[in-house]
Amino acid sequence: MKAEDTITIDLAGKSTIADYMVVTSGRSQRHVASVAEDVVKHLHQAGIAPVRMEGLKQGDWVLIDAGDVIAHVFRPEVRDFYALEKMWSAGKH
């Protein structure tokens, strides 16, 4: 789906919400929604369920909760505003 600037953050020992967080970007609201839908489709094909998704209709930021992995798909401007990568890497040397 050509998501952009994808990173994976290891949350082990930092949080109990998940083991990993994936952050990626889409170029537009439509692209963000398409990327998120494709991720959920592949999670289901891999036998990972249940998967919860929020923000699909707006397409600015879609949160995908797959239990041990949480994925965030952002429009670039929204990603810059929330800066999740900086928040979760704070204090990391």
- What is the average pLDDT across 41-46? 95
Confirm whether 93 is domain-assigned.
no
User: What's the pLDDT band for 62 if we cut at 50, 70, 90?
Assistant: very high
How many domains would you assign to the chain?
Answer: 1
CB 56 within 8 A of CB 26: no
What's the CATH code of the domain at 61? 3.30.460.10
Confirm whether 15 is domain-assigned.
yes
DSSP E strands: which ranges in 1-93?
4-10, 20-25, 52-54, 61-65, 69-74
pTM of the model: 0.90
Average pLDDT, the chain: 92
CB 60 within 8 A of CB 25: no
Confirm whether 12 is domain-assigned.
yes
Q: Domain range holding 57?
A: 4-88
- What is the average pLDDT across 2-30? 93
Q: At 62, phi and psi to the nearest 5?
A: -110, 130
Confirm whether 32 is domain-assigned.
yes
